[in-house]
Amino acid sequence: MSIADESGGRSRQMRQKAQQLEQAAERANDPAERERLKEKARRLQEESKKTEQMGSGGIDPM
């Protein structure tokens, strides 16, 4: 398995987790909890984009 494949899989997992967090945020009754979950989902989505770019050679990690 290549580095690109590994980072692509990791990126996909992060996006799925971010989507789960967004859904949990929609169901949350507490506004503070809802905001916390949305923020965590946003950070995961950003990280998945960075991981995907590094795996595709878009960003030089060094």
Q: Which of 17, 5, 10 is nearest to 42 (CA)?
A: 17
pLDDT digits (tens, 9 = 90+) for 6-34: 667 888 999 999 999 999 999 999 999 99
pLDDT for the residue 58: 55
pLDDT for the residue 40: 97
DSSP summary character for residue 56: T
Mean pLDDT of all residues in the chain? 84
Of residues 29 and 55, more confidently modeled: 29
- Residue 4 belongs to what H/E stretch? helix 3-27
pLDDT for the residue 3: 57
pLDDT for the residue 52: 82
Q: How far apart are CA 27 and CA 33, in angstroms?
A: 10
DSSP summary character for residue 47: H
